Amino acid sequence: MLLLKPEIEAFEPLYRSAVEACLESGLPLVVCTIYNCDIADQEFQTIARIAITAFNDVILRVSQEKGVRAIDLRLVCEMPEDYADEIEPSAIGGGKIAAAIWRAISHG
């Protein structure tokens, strides 16, 4: 986890700045976390999920601080069929993501 520290420290101010810039438009904003992956190598998948969690912590914390709705894509794409390969959503996963975004913006 210490190896991620410089990356997270670099990501957070950039992400915060991007969210603030989007909010300046006055339009509604919904952010999404980074979805997990479906990697066959279980040890590598565990490492990847830990790394993703560190970045998602920033995304969720900033969304809470700024009062912005967040969609946790780790809860949207949970099944192997949600992925076309190890890291990309399939048509099924993409449909689930689109539906989650539509629900967020239409019931907002």
pLDDT of 41 reads 85
pLDDT given at position 86: 83
Half-sphere exposure of 84 (CA within 13 A, CB side): 8
User: pLDDT per residue over 11-63, tens digit each?
Assistant: 999 999 999 999 999 988 999 999 988 778 889 888 888 999 999 999 999 99
Share of the chain above pLDDT 70, in %: 98
Tokens 């992956």 belong to 37
Kindly report the average pLDDT of the chain as a whole number: 92
End-to-end CA distance of the chain: 35
Q: What is the CATH number of domain 2-106?
A: 3.40.50.1110
Q: Which structure tokens are listed for 32? A: 């999404």
Kindly report the pTM of this predicted structure. 0.88
| Token reading at 56 | 């998602």
CA atoms of 94 and 62, how far apart (whole Å): 25
Task: Please state the domain extents for the chain.
Answer: 2-106
The neighbour count for residue 40, using CB atoms within 10 Å, is 7
